[in-house]
Amino acid sequence: MSRVYIFGIGSPFGADRIGWLAIDQLRTHFADNPGVILDALSQPTDIFIRTFEATDRIIFIDAMISGRAPSSVDLFTARQLESGAPRVSSHGIDLKTTVDLLIGMDFPADRIRVCGIEMSSDDSLQSMLDDALYAACTRVTAFVDQYAGSICAVK
């Protein structure tokens, strides 16, 4: 039996807040499922305050800029993440490096997903925010529901 961790990455303001907004909505959806743990984080490495088992699943929800249409949503595997240079500095560690660290420490890559929500540099996202959130939460809940039978309650 395993747990599913869903981490929204972002901040309280601007387009970057969408990861936190998604967590707010998912908290309602998974309120009755103690095997699904949700958290809104300022930086991805904050996940490491927790101890993960190899049977767990980890989903990140984050804003992305990839050139797709604003508000489009994708659910990436760890292997599908862009292979651009990861950012490691004294000011922080990016999501790609965080995923690499997880895998480096023997967390199974196939149990990691990244839900990316395309951001826009103009105001067009604002009008599509609800749609983007709905799409992201739908993708995430569908993924989690696949494993509903194997999720156990957390003590």
Partner 1 sequence: MSQGRDVDIHVPVLARVEGEGALDIRIRDGRIDDIQLRIYEPPRLFEKVLEGRNGQDVIDIVARICGICPVAYQMSAVTALESIFGVQPTPWVRAMRRVMYCGEWIQSHSLHIHLLAAPDFLGFNSAPEMATRYPNEVRRGLRLQAIGNEIIRTFGGRSVHPVGVCVGGFFHAPTVEAIAALREKIRASLDDAHELIRWTATLPLPDDQQDFTSVSLRHSVDYPLSEGRIVSDAGLNIDATQFAQHFIEHQVPHSTALHAHLDGRPYLVGPLARLNINADHLPAGIVQTLQETGIAFPSKNMFHSVVARAVEIAYAMTEALRLTENYQPSAEPYVAHTVKAGTGYACTEAPRGILWHRYSLDENGHVLNSAIVPPTSQNQARIEEDLKNALTKFGLEKCDDALRKHSEIVIRNYDPCISCATHFLTFRAERQ
Task: List interacting residues with partner 1 (CB under 8 A).
Answer: 11-12, 42-43, 45-49, 85-93, 97, 100-101, 103-106
Residue 91 tokens, joined: 């000011």
Nearer to partner 1, 61 or 151 (CB): 61
In sequence order, what E strands does 22-139 have?
36-41, 57-64, 73-77, 88-89, 92-93, 112-118
Spatial distance between the Cα atoms of 48 and 40, rounded to a whole number of angstroms: 13
**Residue 69 Cβ, how far from partner 1 at the closest point, in Å?**
29
Question: Based on CB atoms, which residue is closest to partner 1, 2 or 42?
Answer: 42
Q: How far is the CB of 8 from partner 1 (least distance, A)?
A: 12
Indicate the residue among 88 and 135 with the shorter CB distance to partner 1.
88
Residue 146 Cβ vs partner 1, minimum distance, rounded to whole Å: 28
* Identity of the residue, 45 or 72, whose beta carbon is nearer to partner 1 in the bound complex: 45
Task: For residue 108, count other CB atoms closer than 10 A to its CB.
Answer: 14
Smallest CA-to-CA distance from 2 within 34, 28, 30 is with 34
Compute the least distance from the CB of residue 84 to partner 1, in Å. Answer: 11
Q: How many whole angstroms separate alpha carbon 121 and alpha carbon 24? A: 24
Residue 102 CB, nearest approach to partner 1 (Å):
9
In the bound state with partner 1, the residue whose beta carbon lies nearer, of 102 and 144, is 102
CA gap 118, 125 in Å, rounded: 9
DSSP letter, residue 119: -
